[in-house]
Each structure stands twice: as C-alpha cells, then as structure tokens.
Amino acid sequence: MNLRQEFLFHPPEDKIPLVQPPLKVQSQWGRWIETPEMMVAIIPSGKLEVNIRSPLNLVVTSFGVSSGMAAFNADQLQAYQALPGGFDIVPQGSTYSSVEDASCSVVFGYSPSFLSRIVTVEAEGQTIELQPGQISKTYWGLNVAIAMQEFFDNGQIGGVFYLESVATAVLGQIIYRRSNLSRQIKRPPEFLDPNLLKSALEYVRAHLSQELSLHHIAATVGFSPYHFARAFKATTRLSPYQYVLRCRLELAQQLLQNPRKSLAEVAGEAGFGNQSHMTSVFRRLLNTTPQRYRQEIGSIEPT
C-alpha cells in the first residue's frame, strides 16, 4: 500500500496559512508529501508573508539566507534571519508570523504520535514538547535540505522508509536541543548487542517484500527509532535504510535468475516501490540495469 500522497500547492498572494495540511490548491509553486503521521514540503524562495497557527510540529531548514521580521507566539515582530543549515521550530498549536525574503526551504511536519516515540526518555510517561525558536546552523542541516530536494527530484526514490529515516534524524536532533525534556533523554547506545542486531536483521529479511518502517524495525528490539538508527549505523556502518536497500538488491538478483518473472514482478517481490526504483538502485550500486544483469547472468554457462 502506498502511504504517500503528493500535492502541488500555491498559497494565494504568496501567503502561507497552514491551517490544516495539505494545501490542495494545484499549481506549480511548491511540493508537499504527507503520510498519516508526517509531511515534508519544499517551499521555493521569494517574498513571503506567513501567519499561522501550526497544525503540526513544524521544523524548517533552508538552502540559503532568509531575512525579515518574525514573531513566535504573538510576540512583537523583531528582526529575523535564518542561515542555511539552521532550523526554525514551530510547535503544534503555537503561532508564527513573519514578513520575509525567504530562501528555498524544507518544512517537516510531525504529528504528536510521531513526536512521542522518536526518542527514549528517562522518565516514562512524560510528554515531549518542542520549544519554539531557532537553532543556529549545523553541519548536517544543509545536507538534510539537499537530501529532501533530491528525494523530490528523483521521483521519491526510497519511499516512506527513506522519508521516515530522514525525518527521524532531524526530529531526534531537535528534541535533544529544543524540547522540554532535553536533559532527560537517554543517551543512544554506542552499539547494538549481537542478539538484538540478529533479531533486527531477521525481521528485515522476513519482511523485505512489505513496506518496511524504521519504527517497526526498532520496536522489534525495544528501541526508539532515533536511538536504533544511530546504534545500528555504529554497529554495521550502514544506516537501516542502506541495509534494507542492499537486502532488496540481493533478493532482486536472485529473483532475476528466473526468466519467467517480469521485471515488475521482481521489483514487487523484492520490496521496491516500483520497477523504476529497482532500476535506479541497480544503476547506483551495481552500475547496470536489472535487464542487463539478467542478460549477463543468462549468458554465463554453468561450470
């Protein structure tokens, strides 16, 4: 099942009243993808007037410098500047107003349920709340924006799993820096215990043909998504998404040995969103296409 919906939108008169997602006005202005628990939008550069009460927990990062006047939670407008790689945080239910010359930016929106499970908190049962304001530029902030731009430009390669992985990494960093529980969050483990790693790998391989979720993989070993992703990469040197991609590639290679299976069938059984996604992975990781790979292995005589 495809959990993504994509919309093209154009706020009237370059105003962004994010009353409720998504904005379904269709035109070539901005791009918006949403799943049941999060959304990501690309907002192009230009003069903007923003006056919102946020329906989601919003995190914004930009490709360049944005400047103007802005206010959080109905405070008086003050001089405002956002640098590439920095983040603006607008928690759910809070207000944000601005008149600005905005750079092209990426907006992440998170539901309360997504927010609540992203990290592990020392005191169980406490509610995580983001704090409005800014985080100065970080070395990874601009990379996040570029990654999302490429995701849109390349036909959403990687699907919900990739989107969730990037959104989780961003939100985990924001919670550590600007939330009510910043000092009560458990430190991520340095590595995964071998038995826990084995359980996670077995779960992935057993569900390759399905729509995998970082949240569900992490839950198999009792970790939050953010902590699991960090520990998994420290242990394997691959992100969970990269590992899943390699497993699907291996499965596709096996399935291609059956000449009766169409490329579309192989892509579906290997868990790729579509044949185009499978082809892009083959090109990037093997420098070939599924069709050429099938022809090459068919031409090798058994010894």
Full pLDDT tens readout for the chain, 303 residues:
333 344 333 443 334 434 433 333 333 346 777 777 888 888 888 888 888 888 889 999 988 899 999 998 877 888 989 888 899 999 998 888 888 888 888 889 898 889 888 887 655 667 888 999 899 888 788 888 888 888 877 777 778 888 899 999 999 989 988 998 887 777 767 789 999 999 999 999 999 998 899 999 999 999 999 999 999 999 999 999 999 999 999 999 999 999 899 999 999 999 997 898 899 899 989 999 999 999 988 765 444
- Bridge partners (DSSP) of residue 203 are none
Whether residues 155 and 265 fall in one domain: no
Contacts of 143 (CB under 8 A, 6+ apart): none
Asked whether residue 156 is assigned to any structural domain, the reply reads yes
Are the C-beta atoms of residues 170 and 108 closer than 8 Å to each other? Answer: yes
Letter string b/e over residues 41-71, b meaning 16 or more CB atoms within 10 A of that residue's CB: bbbeeeebebebebebbbbbbbbeebebebe
Asked whether residue 65 is assigned to any structural domain, the reply reads yes
Asked whether residue 303 is assigned to any structural domain, the reply reads no
Dmax (CA) of the chain: 78
Query: Which of 212, 167, 245, 254 lies closest to 236, judged by CA?
Result: 245
Whether residues 222 and 286 fall in one domain: no
Determine how β-strand 5-9 pairs with β-strand 87-90. unpaired
Asked whether residue 222 is assigned to any structural domain, the reply reads yes
Whether residues 210 and 276 fall in one domain: no
Query: Which of 93, 18, 90 lies closest to 52, judged by CA?
Result: 18
Whether residues 160 and 215 fall in one domain: no
Evaluated on CA atoms 57, 87, 65, 155, the torsion sign reads negative
Domain with 222 in it: 194-237
Whether residues 110 and 205 fall in one domain: no
Contacts of 123 (CB under 8 A, 6+ apart): 181, 184
What is the model's pLDDT at position 149? 84
CA distance 50 to 53: 10
> For the chain, how many structural domains are there in total?
3
